[in-house]
Amino acid sequence: MTKRNDAPSNPDRRKLITSAAAVLSVAALQTPTAEAKSKSGGTQTGSVDVIVVGAGLSGLTSARELVKKGKSVVVLEARDRVGGRTWTTAVGARRYDLGGQFVGPTQDRIRAMAKEFGLEIKPVFSDAKHIWELGDERVEFEGSVPALSLLQKLDLGHIINKMNALAKRVGPTTPWAVSDAAELDAITLAQWVKENSYKKSSRDFAKVMTRAVLGVDPDEISVLLWSYYVAQGDNIEMLIGGRGGAQDSVIEGGSQQLSLRMAKDLGAAVKLSQPVRRVMHDAAGVTVETDHGNWRGRYVVMAIPPAMNTAITFTPSLTGDRRDLETRAPMGRYAKVVITYEKPFWRELGYAGDVGSLRGPVVASYDDSSNEGPALLGFVGGDDERLWRKLSAPARKAAVLECFARWFGSEALKPLAYEEKDWTVDEWTFGGPTIALPPGVLSRYGAALRQPIGRIHWAGTEAAQRWTGYMDGAIRAGEQAAADLLTRLTK
């Protein structure tokens, strides 16, 4: 539409119209059409080149890449929406991400997809004071270096340097292949940090870091797993960093837009509310059973978290390392909260909005303001999530708001709206953001993360060779699965 030259400029009105249009377009993509609704009931049968299980970023990427090369696909999704672990939804009168959200500067696959769809990637506000809360000690600082004592800084720097060196040696692709993999996989990260540090602040830092990044405590994972995860994100500084790090930016309007756009392009190939119950596979192909019928394909891509495969019957059953992996691959304990406000009062107080806290239950927070309006987000992870989850809904909200009030003052207790999503109790995910393998698992069974079994291929962010646990990793794994299948399909 061409703007009339004599129309007065009204930024607020334009913003309202743009926001309303975005909400309506997203709602249209998420609401099944009458045709789609009729297809979701009754028996469905069909035959395609590739069946994709899971309509998250990874599964949809695989399907999209295959269709580009002229292959036929069907995407089966258990939920009534696409997006998997990304979910942009209403928080009061506005819309925000309650799932995966952040985009780092070296995450080129998600950046390329966002650019292709014409979506804006916007830096998270961070040009103000940051807060660390380690026990009873509150540290406020600007820049990237916290205002710790000299001895604390030296000890923390020592630990980070050793972690980075170990991650570089373990590498991002085959950590189980390093000569001392079994040894590194037998020791917990908590034990390793204790043996390699002198100050309690360094051990507290490790606990905040793993709760915020993986949704677990350091005594639940091995140093091999942590080194592998760090290597996937380049180094500690990149993995946990705000500006210039993995939490540098977000997609304006929400990250679920990526999945919605791909699903729109794929059209009727995407089937919602279709939980897969059985996968029958043989030398000739695969048959996938859902609540609404069967699908036959030459291959299948399982683009769901490994643990979710244990709820599906495979015939013949999965054996060996893949079965052992899936029964030993818990997800992190992870919840996300978004709180909206009338104004960004924390900025007026000189704070960026980002906090790392050991006191909990919120272990990390960020400024989540967008074109929708001012907001803060928080993560509840590890043991804090387990305890927080047992509270009543009003008590959970009160506990979260108390954290923000402790950091930014009493105005935090007066939000416009509050919304939480505990991924740990999500029936189609069982946690987040990714798997957190206990000691002894990665060195023994890690190779099974990506290794096909006959005509079954694996995707999902867990199968990525870079940025696993992030949206970028999900896209990478989806692209790789499609590339591998195209090689087999053209033989």
Tell me the domain boundaries of the chain.
43-85+255-330+439-489, 87-106+121-144+241-252+332-428, 153-207+222-235
What percent of the chain lies above the pLDDT cut of 90? 84
- Tell me the per-residue pLDDT of 232-277, one tens digit each, with 9 for 90 and over: 999 999 999 888 999 999 999 999 999 999 999 999 999 999 999 9
CA angle 448, 454, 458 (to 5 degrees): 45
| Paired strand residues for 302 | 53, 458
Determine the residue type at 229. Y
The yes-or-no verdict on residue 465 having pLDDT over 50 is yes
SS3 annotation, 73-139: EEEECCCCCCECCCCEEEECCEEEECCCCEECCCCHHHHHHHHHCCCCEEECCCCCEEEEEECCEEE
Fold of 153-207+222-235: Guanine Nucleotide Dissociation Inhibitor; domain 1 (1.10.405)
The yes-or-no verdict on residue 389 having pLDDT over 60 is yes
Is residue 205 within 8 A of residue 198, CB to CB? The reply is no
- Tell me the per-residue pLDDT of 119-155, one tens digit each, with 9 for 90 and over: 999 999 999 999 999 878 898 988 766 767 788 888 8
Q: Is 58 annotated as a binding residue?
A: yes
Secondary-structure breakdown of the chain: helix, strand, coil percentages, each rounded to the nearest 5: 45, 25, 35
Q: Is 276 annotated as a binding residue?
A: yes
Residues near 432 by Cβ (< 8 Å), separated by ≥ 6? 85, 99, 215, 331, 332, 334, 423, 424, 426
**Any idea which of 30-34, 171-175, 223-227, 478-482 has the lowest mean pLDDT?**
30-34
Residues near 38 by Cβ (< 8 Å), separated by ≥ 6? none
Q: Is 379 annotated as a binding residue?
A: yes
Determine the residue type at 481. A
Q: Phi/psi at 9 (nearest 5 deg)?
A: -70, 130
What DSSP state is assigned to residue 177? G
Does the pTM surpass 0.85? The reply is yes
Closest CA to 15 of 371, 393, 404, 438: 371
Closest CA to 209 of 224, 195, 229: 229
What DSSP state is assigned to residue 191? H
Grade residue 431 by pLDDT with cuts at 50, 70 and 90. very high
Number of residues that this document lists for the chain: 491
User: Directed axis angle between helix 256-266 and helix 11-30, to 10°?
Assistant: 50
Is residue 30 within 8 A of residue 81, CB to CB? The reply is yes
Is residue 55 within 8 A of residue 269, CB to CB? The reply is no
Q: What is the pLDDT of residue 44?
A: 65
Residues near 17 by Cβ (< 8 Å), separated by ≥ 6? none
Average pLDDT, the chain: 91
Q: Do domains 43-85+255-330+439-489 and 153-207+222-235 have the same CATH topology?
A: no
Q: Which CATH number fits domain 43-85+255-330+439-489: 3.10.310.30, 3.50.50.60, 3.20.20.70, 3.90.550.10?
A: 3.50.50.60
The yes-or-no verdict on residue 66 having pLDDT over 70 is yes
The architecture of the domain spanning 87-106+121-144+241-252+332-428 is Alpha-Beta Complex (3.90)
Please give the helix or strand (H or E) that residue 458 lies within, else none.
Answer: strand 456-458
Computed from CA positions of residues 438, 106, 424, 361, in that sequence, does the dihedral angle turn out positive or negative?
positive
Is residue 461 within 8 A of residue 468, CB to CB? The reply is yes
